[in-house]
Structure 1
């Protein structure tokens, strides 16, 4: 009969073997849950907390040493704390710091994922493909955070083409970000100043380059296996 330590080690090994499908499923759930919570009149703070916990879990799955884990905790714990504080005492200052820390946290996770999924991978697998898709979704979320940061600092930077007074919500920023990332083309939500316009151009360029680089890398790995 296995002792608790062995059970934990088995669970940890099983999770690390399927970490990217867990991340991908979690990201899709959060992207769907956020607008639903807004439609129900909720602010979605709980969704943000769940998102941070999901990223924490990802950091744990990616960390091969204590230094990586420690850096992830240093970036993630303050953001989680600010989210909880923001639930009790809403404040624009807290929002700015929280969004800024989340951007740094996301960038760290994306860098770790990119290194693990594309640079160090030796064969194409379903877990690798899940990791590639997770990076893409995290890129869109990170850009949405950047746009929200700008909107908080300078209201009116992003708005609706048919209304100047409508409130730009978090789900709207997600919609706007993925519109740029996928080069879908702007419609009802548009950039309102030079900074957000050039950032949209940069995001669209990064989205196209990421897909091109990823396809080339995976194709090379597939040919090597063949």
Structure 2
């Protein structure tokens, strides 16, 4: 789907119009269904979709993968109402799915009911960096202060989440999956304000710091940030 969105005309035009923002789809599969949750924070749109595995009973191959994509498209139709300009909803079909008779529907699917999560207040930059310098990070459980800290942290992470910075990362660490890259971004922000701004501007400084990450922090886990937002 990512490859499709990178070349499809509708998605390319939307990405250009949406500027530096991005759309994140996080999908989990569980026994029971849960209502999709949508967060719009600054120029980032995040969708958490929990799908019941029961919806895939008896399916395999192209029927199974096409059904998973259709579920995502139903959610994207709802997301369209929250982005400006409205994001596309079609996510393409693989060659195998096309051979099995799946193609682009003639019209958009019915939108899914979705919960819109209010955007928390943003912690001031001064307070955020003071907490980082004093190693006073929020405990990994939901709280108002934790949510404000997380909002500021993610805004700063976006400053490093570019193709140029990721290419620097992969020049040192090799292929980096999305979840590991997010951990790395959290770690870079937590190095402090002075270093953070240097990483944003200076690729050599970033490469040097990532070499430290590879040597000293192989077990770093940034998942506590997600726990603050639960």
TM-score scaled by structure 1? 0.28
**Bigger helix share:** 1
More strand by share: 2
TM-score by length of 2: 0.28
